[in-house]
Amino acid sequence: MQTRLINTEPLGGIVWLILGAIICFLSLKLKLGALQAPGPGFVSFVCGVILMLLGITLILTSIANNRRTDRGEAPMECLEQLNWQRLVRVTLVLGAYIFLFRPLGFLVSTFLFFFLLIYFSGSRKKWLLPVIISGFAALTLTGVIS
């Protein structure tokens, strides 16, 4: 007997859509301002709109994928296909970033964060490209924030 996996992605899209709408509504209570002089609610409003767009995208793509294929996989088969080592590595790197942020500062901790993510996701023999990308990302973010 084959069990059919229920597609819960549209429900996740609905959750993101509602969350984005709530953020937009609450942001409107703050002053949005203009594009040249944004107010305190501008950034959160834009983030709410982005969440709503991502929610709509998730709903539409999951419905389209559900119509095209009938996977019929059992829930345990989906969990077996998950790359647990990569998930654990990313979680550990994110945790280290959070704990090292204050002692090392933004620039060094962000560089290490990007470097480790790129290094663990790609070939471990090549280290020069992750160093260059991480340095560029950390310096760019430092320039944007400052």
Residue 124's pLDDT is 67
pTM confidence score: 0.49
In degrees, to the nearest 5, what angle opens at C-alpha 16 toward C-alphas 11 and 21?
Answer: 125
DSSP state of 5: P
DSSP per position, 16-84: HHHHHHHHHHHHHHS--B-SSSB-TTHHHHHHHHHHHHHHHHHHHHHHHHHHH------HHHHHHHS-H
pLDDT at 32: 81
3-state secondary structure of 100: helix
Neighbours of 124 (CB within 10 A): 9
pLDDT, residue 79, reads: 53
What integer pLDDT is reported at residue 7 of this predicted model? 62
Q: Where exactly are the structural domains of the chain?
A: 9-74, 84-145
Q: For position 8, what pLDDT does the model report?
A: 67
Per-residue pLDDT of the chain (146 residues; tens, 9 = 90+): 555 555 667 778 888 899 989 988 888 888 887 777 778 888 888 888 888 988 888 888 877 776 555 555 544 555 555 667 777 888 888 888 888 888 998 899 989 988 988 888 776 677 888 888 899 988 888 887 77
